[in-house]
Amino acid sequence: MVRGFLLFVLVVLLAVLGTAAYLVYTPFGPGKETFVEIAPGTSTSAISAQLQAQRVIRNKYAFDLLKLVKHGTLKAGEYRFEQPVTMLEVYERLARGEVYTRLLVIPEGYNLFDVARAVQVAGLGNTGTFLRAEIENVKLIRDLDPTAQSLEGYLFPDTYHFPKSATPLTMLTAMVKRFRQEAARIGLTENVSQTVTLASLIEKETGVAEERPLVASVFENRLAKNMPLATDPSVIYAALLEGRYRGTIYASDLQSNSAYNTYKHTGLPPGPICNPGIASLQAAIHPAQTEYQYFVSDDNGHSVFAKTLAEHTEHVQAYRETVRSRDQK
């Protein structure tokens, strides 16, 4: 009888252990991509119940027992499960805090409005809320630009990964940190505001890397002669700030009293008009040494440079004739 009882206990124990091993080590999961959002302060039992309800684990009690054995701390956040995995792997992901991050791509030349829209597209926030944060958190760059009205120019273009729970301040801080790192790397330590503003104009005027120092030289030469920079992107930016941009530049835009209207006012605009990349920043620091005072597009994505107004006028006329001929075909 004793041997029979012990045998029975052994069988039961093996069955329990076998079941536990099956629950813990056998892959299980939803048949499609599933996101699990664990809120801060959620108890272990509530987490296990949520995981079972979303079919990420088979049994919540087995998960609770695993947590008890492991003595770990489960981290809040959003988790992504795209294929069946073992309960042990589910536990370890939560214990390590391997939260799912969303991709946020900020290309060179994006302005405040573009960045805010990109944040919403990435599922990381609301456009309006992020735009306000870009304006309200100028404290992040006060040492670089004491008169800045926003973070324009200092949100470094890059590919970022943020969890869904990231706040606007968290994301903005990361972007400004990247700017500081790159600025230090290229030796941008003085006249930061003016350099970034100039770089933002260069960024918007050409996407051709080798032409950026030449564009910088045109702006430098015009500034030295107290000539208006007369750059269209700054006029567009003025209209964007005032909420009146209609997709093209009108005569009324060129007559605007905005300080960003570089047709009407000499010198640099009061701040950057976009977030420039490293090549434009370097061009602003090290412009080419030329006598160019003008440039215009050649309709192929490049620019044609001129020393005199007469030469520039010829280039503009050639550009217009090229466009007219193309449109007539």
Domains and CATH numbers, the chain: 24-96 (3.30.1490.480), 101-288 (no CATH), 293-329 (3.30.160)
Residues 6+ apart with CB under 8 A from 89: none
pLDDT at 187: 96
Tokens at 52, concatenated: 């079972």
- Tens of pLDDT along the chain (329 residues)? 666 655 555 555 555 555 656 566 588 878 788 999 999 999 999 999 999 999 999 999 999 999 999 988 999 999 999 889 999 999 999 999 999 999 999 999 999 999 999 999 999 999 999 999 999 999 999 999 999 999 999 999 999 999 998 999 999 999 999 999 999 999 999 999 999 999 999 999 998 999 999 999 999 999 999 999 999 999 999 999 999 998 999 999 999 999 999 999 999 999 999 999 999 999 999 999 999 999 998 877 789 999 999 999 998 898 888 777 777 76
- Tell me, what amino acid is at 159? T
Element (H, E) at 105: strand 101-105
**pLDDT score recorded for residue 28:** 80
Structure tokens at 29: 């999961």
Tell me how many degrees the CA angle 307-311-314 measures, rounded to the nearest 5: 150
Q: What angle do CA 58, 68, 41 make, to 5 degrees?
A: 85
